Amino acid sequence: MRYVTFEVPSPVGPIERVGVLGASGSVIDINLAARQYYADRVGRRRGTAIADALVPADLIALLANLEVGQDALHRVLDDLPIEVGRTDEQGGTLVHALDSVRLFAPIPRPASIRDCSAYEQHVAAASRGSVPKRWYDFPTYYKGNPFAVLGPDTVVPVPDDSEKCDYELEYAAVIGRSGRDLSPEQALDHIAGYLIFNDVSVRDVQFREMSVGLGPAKSKDFDGSNLFGPALVTPDEWDPHVHHTMQAFVDDEEWSSGSTTTIHFPVEEIVAHISQRETLRVGDIIGTGTVGGGCGLELGKYPPRGSRVELRIEGLGSLANTWGDAPGER
């Protein structure tokens, strides 16, 4: 399953919806599809109530329904003919063409954001070849700003005082089941899926603030500093333990290339470590870190303002954004 959050027009203005990517470039509005499915069986009013409870138009709420919501969604999708433009009895569009909707980040309002540094090559390059000995003991991470999230095809508002606004080529896991003190084996069962994560970093600010022994702070805490998308891909469709090519392009020129298998701490170890003495909640996003060679810092160059930065991860899709001066958009 590939979940997306998208925007459609309505008589009261644009509204946010949750969908899954269907065949031939389609997006299925899963809540409206569920309303139609249950309305055909128990009537519209009761069908709407059942659909809103089981398959809500909010991805975190849907994930929180666990197997109950997933079972209901599969029944709905198995019953729905996938025809672009298909509508329900009230004229609501059940199936959109992908190019007719605006995608948001799949999780527009994460419960929290944590980002690790789990690739040895990246750490070595960022620290000028010397990896701290304690780095090998456990996966370290910082907490990001869950309100500073943008999705695909948006403008990243590069801070006025920065000439070194960098991309970071990563993937992240989304928690789909609450839990704490998890073992690595248990941790995998708590992951709802994976998505591309561009951890935007203002390097000329980062090194100044981290020189005092804290941070990162404002270098990774500004509107638009966390880019996610295009879809949340479930574990049955994407396995982080096998080789997937990771690439970054600036204005269609390849700057970075790596592999998911070069990670030092596998994702289940990362999630298990973070869960110790702390409850992970549905909608938490956990970045695994920048792949080796996956940022401008390692290359000695940075995307200029006005450039198009695109991250591609095999099996997860493509996430493109523009480095600019405009206010950020969710």
> Measured between alpha carbons, how far is 146 from 22 in angstroms, rounded to an integer?
28
Structure-block tokens of residue 282: 């549905």
Do 8 and 79 sit in the same domain of this protein? yes
> Measured between alpha carbons, how far is 216 from 202 in angstroms, rounded to an integer?
10
- Whether residue 56 lies inside any domain: the answer is yes
Q: Are the C-beta atoms of 291 and 311 separated by less than 8 Å? A: no
- Whether residue 8 lies inside any domain: the answer is yes
Q: Are the C-beta atoms of 114 and 284 separated by less than 8 Å? A: yes
Q: Are the C-beta atoms of 144 and 221 separated by less than 8 Å? A: yes
Can the peptide bond before residue 139 be classed as cis, meaning omega within 30 degrees of 0? no
Q: Which helix (H) or strand (E) element contains residue 314?
A: none
- Whether residue 330 lies inside any domain: the answer is no
- Whether residue 329 lies inside any domain: the answer is no
66 backbone dihedrals φ, ψ, rounded to 5°: 50, -140
> Measured between alpha carbons, how far is 137 from 11 in angstroms, rounded to an integer?
55
Query: Which residue range forms the structural domain that includes residue 86?
Result: 2-103
Residues found in the chain: 330
pLDDT computed for residue 329 by the predictor? 45
Do 124 and 270 sit in the same domain of this protein? yes
Do 157 and 175 sit in the same domain of this protein? yes
Q: Is 90 exposed, middle or buried (0-12, 13-18, 19+ CB in 10 A)?
A: exposed
- Whether residue 139 lies inside any domain: the answer is yes
Rounded to whole angstroms, what are the CA distances from 223 to 144, 149, 227?
11, 7, 10
pLDDT computed for residue 155 by the predictor? 96
Q: Of 103, 129, 150, which residue constitutes the final position of a domain?
A: 103
Do 26 and 148 sit in the same domain of this protein? no
Structure-block tokens of residue 281: 């909640």
Can the peptide bond before residue 110 be classed as cis, meaning omega within 30 degrees of 0? no
Structure-block tokens of residue 120: 């040895």
pLDDT computed for residue 209 by the predictor? 80
Q: Which helix (H) or strand (E) element contains residue 286?
A: strand 284-287
Instruction: Supply angle C-alpha 241, 66, 72, rounded to 5.
Output: 115
**CB atoms near residue 24 (< 10 Å):** 9
Please enumerate in sequence order all residues whose Cβ is within 8 A of that of 148, keeping only pairs 6 or more positions apart, or say none: 221, 222, 223, 224, 225, 226, 328
pLDDT computed for residue 79 by the predictor? 94
Do 33 and 149 sit in the same domain of this protein? no
Round to the nearest angstrom and report the end-to-end CA distance of the chain: 23
> Measured between alpha carbons, how far is 225 from 220 in angstroms, rounded to an integer?
6
Please enumerate in sequence order all residues whose Cβ is within 8 A of that of 330, keeping only pairs 6 or more positions apart, or say none: 104, 105, 108, 149, 150, 151, 154
- Whether residue 118 lies inside any domain: the answer is yes
Residues in the chain, pLDDT under 50: 326, 328-330
> Measured between alpha carbons, how far is 18 from 56 in angstroms, rounded to an integer?
8
- The domain that holds 280 is classified in CATH as 3.90.850.10
> Measured between alpha carbons, how far is 104 from 149 in angstroms, rounded to an integer?
9
> Measured between alpha carbons, how far is 119 from 148 in angstroms, rounded to an integer?
24
Do 37 and 171 sit in the same domain of this protein? no
pLDDT computed for residue 327 by the predictor? 55
Do 131 and 86 sit in the same domain of this protein? no
Do 66 and 199 sit in the same domain of this protein? no
Q: Of 103, 124, 143, which residue constitutes the final position of a domain?
A: 103
Do 316 and 192 sit in the same domain of this protein? yes
Do 12 and 99 sit in the same domain of this protein? yes
Residue with tokens 């789909």: 176
Do 197 and 179 sit in the same domain of this protein? yes
Count of domains for the chain: 2
- Whether residue 30 lies inside any domain: the answer is yes
Do 182 and 266 sit in the same domain of this protein? yes
Give the global pTM.
0.95
- Whether residue 28 lies inside any domain: the answer is yes
Q: Of 103, 123, 153, which residue constitutes the final position of a domain?
A: 103
